[in-house]
A and B are shown apart, each in its own frame.
Chain A
Amino acid sequence: MRQKKYVVLKQRRKRTGILLCIPAFLVVAYAIYMLGYALVMSFNSNMGVLSGEYHFVGWENYRKVLESEEMRGVVGNTLLYAAATIVTELGIGLLVSAALRRNLRGSQAAKVCIMLPMMMAPIASGTIWRWMLTDRYGIVNHLLGLLNIDGPMWLADKLAAKFAILFVSVWTAAPFVILVLLASISSVSDDIIEAARIDGAGGLQVYWNIIFPHLKSAIAVILLIRIPDALKMYDIVYILTDGGPANATQVISFYVYNKGFTSLKFGEAAAASFLLFLFIAAFSVFFNSLVNRNKKKGR
């Protein structure tokens, strides 16, 4: 009798769950529809999209995209960029969160400074950075000059432009990384650290053996969120360098956008963007399962 009631309750609860999700599902369905639309478009000819007709061309667009030499360079740039930004962000994040954990006077002010870049529109922050990095009237090189450093041509030099993109990306995303790590590091109890200290562990040892293991799940979350974001980055390149000099800062999203809106090859653009999506999705699934397996092992 009791068992039966339980089952009924459970059934009803499931129904409630589905009902609660319906509005959200409708919104998400719209996004799915658009994804499907992009997929269909990626099999249409470039002219077809422009003239509003449908000429099925099979894998033609995908073939063109995969064969193009330019695309290979772009993919390389994107991966390099994603790896570099995320490593830098994590490095800064680990340093700063550890520094903030000590809760010295003034930490609160530092936290406010850290939050501000998150609030800024990428279009606005990209523009102001471009202004700061111009070689003649830019403040960055002027300040470097005061330190007797001859600043590079940020937007003209191939390597410097890559670094410029890196700095601006780190500027916009580091706050998020710092805050997540800070939240995680704050939950390490002082007692454990104190105990380790008494046992004679030095500062670095404490960090490495006690604090760092604690941060692992936070780092996993950061990677899971930041890697896809870095792979789809668009606005900073759009504003700062237009993909130049000599294609050194072309990334996939920007390439796709130009392929569509400048070269008017919307079929190929759709194919390239769909490949980007598949790549990100595959990566995320793979990474997620890796994290989950580790978690299980840990237990």
Chain B
Amino acid sequence: MKKRVVSVLLCAGLVIGAIAGCSGGKDAETEKTDSKSSEEGDYSGQTLTIAVEDGGEYALWYESIKSEFEEKTGAKVTLVGANDEAVLAECMAKSGYYDVLTMDGPMIPQYASLGYLMPLDDYIDQEEIDDFFDSTIESVSWNDSLYCMPYLVHGPVIYYRTDLFEAADFDHAPETVDEYFEMSKALTDESQGVYGTIIEGKQSSEPVSQLLDKLSQFGGELISSDDPSKIAFDSQETIDTFEYIMKFYDEGAVPEGCSSYDNGDVQNMFLQGQLAMACNWPYMWSMVNDEEYSKVVGKVGVAPQPGANAVWSWSFGISPDSKNKELAVEWCKWSTSSEIIERLSENFINPAVRESSAKNAVAAITDEEDAKVLEAMNKSLEQGVAPTLSTNFQELRTRVALTLNRIATKETTDISGEVKTCAEDLQKILDEVQ
């Protein structure tokens, strides 16, 4: 008898559960269809779904100010944390689930050529475009069409510990690559658990970005900027770069396990006060000053990297399958408007992508320390080199990551041989798309 009661309850539970379970999905569905019935200009009732980087700092910031856009347009905005796989899968399915995509610069050529992004040329006024720095617009264009609106273009800068520099009688941040090495070596003090810097060597994409910075400092490049169908990796400059990096490894200017480190490890160690210098992204500045995460609040200065660095863009693009294209265009315009970019720049103390915003931000920042930092970051943008991209840049990057890791782990000590093989492979990969 008891058993029967239990089984009846179980069945009832299952049914109720099933109904509740379905309804969640359905709600989302109905919301989407509702959005079709709206008039131009007024977007009330529409829902804009934006794919953002899961847990990304800028995504959180846009989340915090999206209500302003909602008030302005009457639409509802949802920022959905999405990994690359999810975005790609939706694009392949042409589902239009995401109206707006957050694009990491190197992905734009690929997405654009596959038709996963809508060209924006007809939607954005030339006047607007002129306010952006040329290099930033270049970084979001492909085959002479504009595909995204950039909200951030940045390159890694040097964070350095002012207290350690003072103690070592260094009166300026490193200005040449040799100085960077000498200082790293001099500041390494293993007994205190402090290392000069880190040059990441993990087989993953972030360390490749750092490698490309160093490569640009030595005057080398990955894809030739003169002829985008040629790999320029097999060069003396590349070999010099790797030899330079290995000097840090061999002479103990970096911690021992650093061939397995990624961007996150660098940040952790720097925030813990275990590094004297770190090349890292502009957004780390806000982490440095957050007492919850950082032990080095007030002891950090920022300088541009010696001579050159690569720059990368982050931007918003629109899915051609979006059912709310006009609203999506509104979002792209609003989120990269002069005012919003200025606020972003001031909030993160990051370089601004628009001339007007950059001017206003510099004027608005009163704190002397912050002003200096922003100046350094803007410098990194000025000296920045936008790497030549290709539609399969990710694959190229994956291949370079392998070579970097092989050299960093001393799997091979024949640098010129490794670079040559790598360049041959890269050329093959590049040829596949021509």
Q: Which residues of A contact B (CB under 8 A)?
A: 49-52, 134-137, 153, 155-158, 242-247, 258, 261-264
Closest residue on chain A to residue B265 by CB atoms = A134
Q: Is the CB of A246 within 8 A of B203?
A: yes
Are the C-beta atoms of B203 and A153 separated by less than 8 Å? no
A–B pairs, 21, beta carbons within 8 Å: A134-B265, A135-B257, A136-B257, A136-B274, A153-B256, A153-B257, A153-B260, A156-B201, A156-B257, A156-B260, A157-B409, A158-B409, A242-B202, A242-B204, A245-B202, A245-B260, A246-B409, A247-B203, A258-B398, A262-B398, A264-B110
Q: Interface residue count for B (Cβ, 8 Å)?
A: 31
B window 268-318: CB within 8 A of A: 268-269, 274
CB contact list, B376-430 vs A, under 8 A: 392, 394-395, 398, 402, 405-406, 409, 411
- Interface residues in chain B, defined as those with a beta carbon under 8 Å from any beta carbon in chain A: 84-85, 88, 92, 94, 110, 114-115, 201-204, 255-260, 265, 268-269, 274, 392, 394-395, 398, 402, 405-406, 409, 411
* CB-based closest 4 A-B pairs: A244-B203, A156-B260, A135-B257, A153-B257
Interface Cβ pair total, 8 Å cutoff: 72
For the complex with contacts A136-B269, A264-B392, 15 further pairs of A-B residues with Cβ separation under 8 Å are A49-B92, A51-B114, A153-B256, A155-B257, A156-B258, A244-B260, A244-B405, A245-B203, A245-B260, A245-B409, A262-B395, A262-B398, A263-B392, A263-B395, A264-B110
State whether B402 touches A246 (Cβ < 8 A).
yes
- Is B114 touching A261 in the complex (CB atoms < 8 A)? no
Main SS at interface, chain B: helix
Q: Which residues of B contact A135 (CB under 8 A)?
A: 256-257, 260
**Cα–Cα distance between A50 and B259 once the two chains are bound (Å):** 35
Structural contact, A52 and B94, CB atoms closer than 8 A: yes
Complex-state Cα separation, A153 to B395, whole angstroms: 27
Is the Cβ of A50 less than 8 Å from the Cβ of B92?
yes
Q: How far is the CA of A184 from the CA of B247 in the complex (A)?
A: 58
Are B88 and A264 in contact, with the CB atoms below 8 A?
yes
- Asked if residues A244 and B114 are in contact (CB atoms below 8 Å), the reply is no
B333 shortest CB reach to chain A, Å: 29
Which residues of chain B are within 8 angstroms of A263 by Cβ–Cβ distance?
392, 394-395, 398
Contacts of A262 in B (CB 8 A): 84, 394-395, 398
Q: Are A246 and B257 in contact (CB under 8 A)?
A: no
Residues of A within 8 A of B398 (CB): 258, 262-263
Q: Please state if A52 and B92 are interface contacts (CB–CB under 8 Å).
A: yes
CA A156 – CA B259 in complex, angstroms? 6
Give the complex CA separation of A292 and B202 in angstroms.
47
Give Cα A51 to B391, complex, Å: 14
**A246 surroundings in chain B (CB, below 8 A):** 203, 402, 405-406, 409, 411
